[in-house]
Amino acid sequence: MFQKILIANRGEIALRIQRACRELGIHTVAVYSDVDRNALHVRYADEAYLIGPAPSRESYLRADKILDVARKSGADAIHPGYGFLAEREDFAQACIDEGIKFIGPKPSAIAAMGDKAVARATVQKAGVPVVPGTEGEGGLRDEEIIAIAPQIGFPLLIKATAGGGGKGMRRVDRMEDLSGALASARREAEAAFGDGSVYLEKLVLGARHIEIQLLADEHGNVIHLGERECSIQRRHQKIIEESPSPAIDADLRERMGAVAVKAAQAVDYHNAGTIEFLLDKDKNFYFLEMNTRLQVEHPITEIVTGTDIVKEQIRIARGRVLRWKQRSIRQRGWAIECRLNAEDPFNNFMPSTGTITRIERPTGPGVRIDSSMYEGVEVTPYYDSLIGKLICWGESRAEAIIRMRRALSEYRIIGVRTNIPFHQAMMDSHRFIGGSFDTTFVEERFALEQEARPEDERIAAVIATLVAHRYERQAAQVVRRNERDTSNWKWIARWERMQR
Contact footprint for a second copy (CB under 8 A): 15-16, 19, 22-25, 299, 302, 306-308, 332-333, 361, 363-371, 376, 395, 399, 402-403, 405-406, 409, 487, 497-498
Specify the residue, 175 or 467, whose C-beta has the smaller distance to other proteins.
467
| Interacting residue with other proteins among 5, 30, 109, 261 (CB under 8 A) | 30
The pattern of x and - marking residues 353 through 392 that bind other proteins according to CB under 8 A reads: x---xx-x-------------xxx----xxxxx-------
Task: Select the binding partner of residue 45 from other proteins, a second copy, none (C-beta < 5 to 8 A, by kind).
Answer: other proteins
Under the criterion CB under 8 A, does residue 461 sit at the interface with other proteins?
Answer: yes
The pattern of x and - marking residues 40 through 59 that bind other proteins according to CB under 8 A reads: --xxxxxxxx----------
- Does residue 293 carry a catalytic annotation? yes
For residue 490, what is the enclosing H or E element?
helix 488-499
Contact 488, 496 (CB under 8 A): no
Under the criterion CB under 8 A, does residue 466 sit at the interface with other proteins?
Answer: yes
CA distances from 433 to 142, 229, 340, 397, 487 (A): 44, 14, 20, 9, 43
Task: Select the binding partner of residue 221 from other proteins, a second copy, none (C-beta < 5 to 8 A, by kind).
Answer: none
DSSP state string for 258-286: HHHHHHHHHTT--EEEEEEEEE-TTS-EE
| Interacting residue with other proteins among 155, 333, 421, 435 (CB under 8 A) | 421
Burial of 353 (0-12, 13-18, 19+ CB in 10 A): middle
Task: Select the binding partner of residue 47 from other proteins, a second copy, none (C-beta < 5 to 8 A, by kind).
Answer: other proteins
Contacts of 97 (CB under 8 A, 6+ apart): none
**Shortest reach from residue 121's CB to other proteins, in Å:** 29
Task: Select the binding partner of residue 442 from other proteins, a second copy, none (C-beta < 5 to 8 A, by kind).
Answer: none
Task: Select the binding partner of residue 88 from a second copy, other proteins, none (C-beta < 5 to 8 A, by kind).
Answer: none
Nearest Cα to Cα of residue 102 among 218, 10, 11, 210 = 218
Contact 6, 78 (CB under 8 A): yes
**Shortest reach from residue 367's CB to a second copy, in Å:** 7
Under the criterion CB under 8 A, does residue 419 sit at the interface with other proteins?
Answer: no
What's CA 244's distance to the chain center, in Å? Answer: 17
Output Rg (C-alpha) for the chain, integer angstroms. Answer: 24
**Shortest reach from residue 380's CB to other proteins, in Å:** 8
Specify the residue, 221 or 353, whose C-beta has the smaller distance to other proteins.
353
Under the criterion CB under 8 A, does residue 255 sit at the interface with other proteins?
Answer: no
CB half-sphere exposure, 77, CA atoms < 13 A: 24
Specify the residue, 143 or 485, whose C-beta has the smaller distance to other proteins.
485
Task: Select the binding partner of residue 15 from other proteins, a second copy, none (C-beta < 5 to 8 A, by kind).
Answer: a second copy
Task: Select the binding partner of residue 339 from other proteins, a second copy, none (C-beta < 5 to 8 A, by kind).
Answer: none
Can you tell me the distance from the alpha carbon of 125 to that of 230, in angstroms, rounded to the nearest whole number?
27
**Shortest reach from residue 379's CB to other proteins, in Å:** 9
Count of all residues that appear for the chain in the document = 500
Task: Select the binding partner of residue 467 from a second copy, other proteins, none (C-beta < 5 to 8 A, by kind).
Answer: other proteins
**Shortest reach from residue 7's CB to a second copy, in Å:** 14
355 strand-pairing partners: 378
Residue of 253, 293, 339, 403 marked catalytic: 293
The pattern of x and - marking residues 229 through 248 that bind other proteins according to CB under 8 A reads: ------x-x-----------
List, as own/partner pairs, every contact residues 344-347 make where C-beta atoms lie below 8 angstroms and the sequence separation is at least 24, other chains included.
Answer: 344/417, 345/417, 345/419, 345/421, 345/422, 345/448, 346/421, 346/448, 346/450, 347/417
Can you tell me the distance from the alpha carbon of 500 to that of 483, in angstroms, rounded to the nearest whole number?
24
| Interacting residue with other proteins among 9, 59, 73, 197 (CB under 8 A) | 73
CA distances from 235 to 231, 264, 344, 376, 409 (A): 11, 27, 15, 30, 26
DSSP state string for 134-202: --SSS---HHHHHHHHHHH-SSEEEEETT--TTTT-EEE-SHHHHHHHHHHHHHHHHHHHS---EEEEE
Under the criterion CB under 8 A, does residue 342 sit at the interface with other proteins?
Answer: yes
**Shortest reach from residue 487's CB to a second copy, in Å:** 8
State the CB neighbour count (10 A cutoff) for residue 148: 16
Can you tell me the distance from the alpha carbon of 259 to that of 212, in angstroms, rounded to the nearest whole number?
10
**Shortest reach from residue 58's CB to a second copy, in Å:** 21
3-class secondary-structure state, position 23:
helix
| Interacting residue with other proteins among 3, 23, 38, 184 (CB under 8 A) | 38
H-assigned helices in 369-453 = 397-410, 420-428, 430-434, 441-444
Can you tell me the distance from the alpha carbon of 277 to that of 286, in angstroms, rounded to the nearest whole number?
5
| Interacting residue with other proteins among 34, 351, 435, 440 (CB under 8 A) | 351
Would you please indicate which residues are annotated as catalytic (active-site) residues? 293
Q: Using CB under 8 A, list all residues that contact other proteins.
A: 30, 37-38, 42-49, 73, 165, 235, 237, 342, 348-353, 357-358, 360, 374-376, 381-385, 408-409, 412, 414-415, 417, 420-421, 424, 450, 453, 456-471, 486, 489-494, 496-497
